[in-house]
Amino acid sequence: MIPQRYKKTWDYRIFNITKYKFFLMQRYWFISMVTMLTIYVINIFFAAQVCAQQFEFSGKRKKETISFTSIKNLIIIPIYIDDKGPYNFLLDTGVGQMIITDTSFLKKINLEQSKTILIQGYGLGEGIEAILTRNVNARVGRSTIKNIPTAIFKSDIFDLSAYLGVKIYGLLGYYFFNSFLVKVNYSSNKLTYYKNDSKVKIKGTKLPLRIINAKPYLSATIQTSEGADIKIELLVDNGSSQPLMLESMNQQPFPLPLKTIPANLGVGINGEINGVMGRVNTLNIKDFTFNNVLTGFPEFSMKRSLQEGNTRNGTLGAEVLKNFHVTFDYKEEAIYLKKRRNFNYKFDHDMSGLEIYVEKTPKDRFYIGRVEPESPAERAGIQSGDEILSINLRGMEYYTLNNINELLKEYDGKQVIIEVQRKSQRLISILRLKKRI
């Protein structure tokens, strides 16, 4: 129940702070080679009176273009919070309220008339606490919004910074996309956004969207490895680097392809998310067809399905969207897809079995988080806790997580020389990559 003192400013409309969400990172477990950080559905009561709130330009400005940083196909933009910053935020169609994961904001923001809730997510255990507040003003470029509904986590359980290699402070979604017509150019890493009443000629194939609980959904069709055609409903999630995730069909686990490998599919609020990785023969999105699509199949949970409150089969991620110039038009409930010149939908999978994270110090230090059992990395003698000193005889100052991610899925049989520090020892291992799915 909402406290009586908030009834003038809060109401009962339910929004999902986050969703069945996957961030691609170099995190591997069992014999999965590519996995994601997962933030699952969180249903809360939050300020419906501010649903009409929007980002706005001052004066007569109608549009703006800003650059974004792309890491593993995720969009990172600078945001100013209460005129301070810039802070790196993920721009993510899969979130409703703005989310701040950096706990230092608990001391920076006025938390009067805030509310503490217990968040339960994937794993459905005890959960964690978050502060809900409207005492936050945000600015993207020259557009601003006052009193944006915000959730501030009391502990940064996801540690996005370590797995993306740059400091990440939070996520921004619905309130930005609902304010503008938003064009994403993955070729030039440019984001252009227009006032909703602007007359803009949009190029590309138009597909209908359904905006449900502040998130966009579309219909697609897949053909399974057995040759069956299945119509599916997907959350359009540019905050997911995975091409496709499929969990449920008719309130049952989604049928698995003939060949799969066990996989850890990320970290949720209550722990690791298990499932399998496989491929579907084709994914059809109106006029566009993708073949041999790498697909994650999380373990099905009826309780999670009921918590989410929306019938869907899975998630369409940025590994597919990056092949297009994408325009989101929430006002007209539409998405436009225009093929890029270098349209290439080869869906590669990690071939090493390594989980790698970054410790942010004066210089980035790369560590092995996990090694998959029976993986090429395990056979090469690499162990959890090893610090990577060099790859192919080049020091780590020449690498980013993006570089390493691409290197470890180049081709079957490729040899990679990895030098590690293990306690007082320096060791060199020869890792032979292997295609497993």
Q: What is the DSSP string of 34-73?
A: SEEEEE---EEE--GGGTT---EESTT--EEEEE-EEETT
Out of 123-132, 321-330, 395-404, least confident range: 123-132
> Which of 217, 169, 171, 227 shows the shortest CA–CA distance to 313?
217
Rounded CA separation 320/293 (Å): 9
Question: Between 234 and 401, whose confidence is greater?
Answer: 234
> In the Cβ-directed half-sphere of 43, how many Cα atoms lie within 13 Å?
13
Residue 18 confidence class, pLDDT cut points 50, 70, 90? very low
Which segment of 24-38, 96-110, 218-232, 259-273 scores lowest on mean pLDDT?
A: 24-38
Residue 67: band (very low, low, confident or very high) from pLDDT cuts 50, 70, 90:
very high
- Whole-number pLDDT of residue 45: 39
Band the pLDDT of 413: cuts 50, 70, 90: very high
What element of type H or E holds 389? strand 387-391
Sign of CA dihedral 266, 123, 312, 277: positive
The predicted pLDDT at position 240 comes to 85
φ and ψ at 341, to 5 degrees? -60, -40
Interval 135-153: pLDDT, tens:
999 999 999 999 999 999 8
- 4 has pLDDT over 50: no
User: Quick one: pLDDT at residue 44?
Assistant: 40
**What domains does the chain contain, in order, with CATH numbers?**
4-195 (2.40.70.10), 205-339 (2.40.70.10), 354-432 (2.30.42.10)
pLDDT in tens, 314-359: 999 999 999 999 999 999 999 999 998 877 678 888 899 888 888 8
What are the beta bridge partners of residue 77? 89
pTM here is 0.82
Secondary structure of 217-255 in HEC code, one letter for each residue: EEEEEEECCCCCEEEEEEEECCCCCCCEEECEECCEECC
- pLDDT value at 35 more than 70: no
Does residue 370 have a pLDDT over 50?
A: yes
Task: Determine the pLDDT at residue 307.
Answer: 60
When pLDDT is cut at 50, 70 and 90, the band that residue 242 belongs to is confident
Judged against a pLDDT cut of 80, whether residue 400 lies above it is answered with yes
Confidence of residue 299 (pLDDT cuts 50, 70, 90): confident
State mean pLDDT over 377-390.
94
pLDDT over threshold 70, residue 46: no
The pLDDT of residue 359:
86
Instruction: Report CA dihedral (296, 301, 307, 313) to the nearest 10 degrees.
Output: 40
* Contact predicate 24/242, CB 8 Å: yes
Token pair for 118: 């217990």
